[in-house]
Amino acid sequence: MKIVLYSVRSYEKIFFEKLNRKNGFNLDIQYLSCRLNKNTIEKSNGSKVICTFVHDMIDEEILQFLFISGVRLIALRCTGFDHVDLESAKKIGIKVVHVPGYSPESIAEYAVSLILYASRGLYLSSNEEIEEVRDTLKDQVIGVIGTGRIGSITLKILKGFGSKLLAYDPIPNREIVSETGINYVSMDDLLSYSHIISLHCPLNQENYHLINKDSCQRMKDGVILINTSRGELIDSESVLLAMKSGKIRFFCSDVFEKEYFLENENNCPLKEEHQVYKDIFRSFKKQRNFFFTRHRAFLTKSSLRKIAKITLSNINDFRNGSSSLKYELT
Ligand code: NAD
């Protein structure tokens, strides 16, 4: 069975090739570095399965094209699925699977690195004068929003620094309370007491622009904001204003609103909303208190190994006619 992988980087191919051979799947895989969009969709002709990444926007129109060209399974090589129209996929008759929790440590460690980078001013070059002396993490209050797989590991690592830890999650994780002694608080309290805030919740309809003008106002002056989750959790324009006024001292982000525009190497015409965010991103890049890492928090060997393993075994089960696939979303 022919499978087309979109948006593949050379470092991913190594893991897919190795596991395809080692596990005896012998799938006929075609690796494409281009993104899935209207210009590249025909490359999937003749394959029942395609495999995509976070920047491959899959809306109803793309799904219809895929169905006509014979695709019946989309295997996402990521945890988040906010970029896929799952309802339409179900209606049209295309299954969608993803890879949850492949290596939460990779993202948690990255978030903690960003916390240290911002809080200790590691971005200052050695010949720059220190204008403001920083404090230890031990003396900071750190608020974590979302305490699932990634958020809870972030809290466990941060416990080692001796920081006071606060958390907000509509579904509290009792295990993490007993392991770390954190306090669950209301969102309001988390915003107003934290020196550092790290986002670890998935994007959904309820939390779009969770960090907005109002929430920025409720934060401490000089707060540090970290986002390794999804760009749309943040209202970029409000955060930009808060960064300019000093309300937000530093903003480290691995993601950006409508970040699709960053990976537009096929030069597919950008939709107006993407063009708008491309311009907003330019304004962010001019800010000295902004550090952006281009969706790389997940990128470790451990993540790539697990993503390849789960994705290939799911595709193999699909080939063998299995009616229930692991981590099916539709
Ligand atoms: P998870 O499902 O294990 O945990 C998410 C937690 O967020 C849950 O406990 C849920 O109750 C909570 N939550 C939901 N809505 C919330 C809200 N409004 N406020 C506070 N908490 C809320 O997910 P996870 O594996 O920890 O992943 C979290 C997110 O991280 C993913 O959805 C994805 O967007 C992002 N992610 C980013 C990268 C990267 O490379 N940057 C990689 C993997 C995942």
Neighbour count for residue 183 (Cβ, 10 Å): 13
* Residue of 83, 249, 274, 295 with catalytic role: 295
pLDDT of residue 144: 98
For range 184-210, the mean pLDDT: 97
Would you call 274 a catalytic residue per the annotation?
A: no
| Per-residue DSSP letter, 137 | G
Residues 6+ apart with CB under 8 A from 260: 55, 57, 83, 274
Q: Of all protein residues, whose CA lies closest to atom 1 belonging to ligand 1?
A: 148
pLDDT at 127 over 90: no
The pocket around ligand 1, CB under 6 angstroms, is made up of 79-80, 101, 104, 107, 145-151, 168-171, 200-203, 206-207, 210, 228-230, 254-255, 295, 297-298
Distance of alpha carbon 175 from the chain centroid: 24
Would you call 230 a catalytic residue per the annotation?
A: yes
Got the DSSP string for 54-93?
TT--B-HHHHHHHHHTT--EEEESSS--TTB-HHHHHHHT
Structure tokens at 30: 């075609």
For range 41-47, the mean pLDDT: 94
Cα–Cα distance, 185 to 29 (Å, whole number):
48
Q: Ligand 1 centroid vs 146 CA: distance in angstroms?
A: 6
Cα–Cα distance, 312 to 74 (Å, whole number):
12
Residue type for position 95: K
Secondary structure E strands in the chain: 2-5, 28-31, 49-52, 73-76, 95-97, 141-145, 164-168, 183-184, 196-199, 223-227, 248-253, 290-292
Neighbour count for residue 221 (Cβ, 10 Å): 10
Ligand 1 pocket check: which of 9, 12, 78, 79 to mutate, most ligand atoms within 8 Å of Cβ?
79
pLDDT at 85 over 70: yes
Task: Find the DSSP H helices in 69-212.
Answer: 86-92, 104-119, 149-159, 174-180, 187-193
Reported as a single tens digit per residue, the pLDDT across 221-276 is 999 999 999 999 999 999 999 999 999 999 999 999 988 777 765 556 667 777 88
pLDDT of residue 267: 57
pLDDT at 278 over 80: yes
> Which backbone phi and psi does 23 adopt, to 5 degrees?
-90, 5
pLDDT of residue 274: 76
Q: For the ranges 3-12, 92-101, 120-129, 230-239, which has the lowest average pLDDT?
A: 120-129
pLDDT of residue 264: 60
Yes or no: say if 237 and 280 are a contact pair by the CB < 8 Å rule: yes
* Residue of 12, 232, 257, 259 with catalytic role: 259
- Please tell me the class of the 104-292 domain: alpha beta
| Per-residue DSSP letter, 247 | S
Would you call 259 a catalytic residue per the annotation?
A: yes
What would the CATH number be for the domain defined by 2-102+300-319? 3.40.50.720
Residues 6+ apart with CB under 8 A from 231: 253, 255, 256, 257, 258, 259
pLDDT at 41 over 60: yes
Coil, helix or strand at residue 250: strand
For range 63-90, the mean pLDDT: 95
For range 299-323, the mean pLDDT: 95
Measured N-to-C along each axis, helices 104-119 and 301-319 cross at an angle, to the nearest 10 degrees, of 150
Reported as a single tens digit per residue, the pLDDT across 130-147 is 888 889 999 999 999 999
Q: Where in the chain is the domain with CATH 3.40.50.720?
A: 2-102+300-319, 104-292
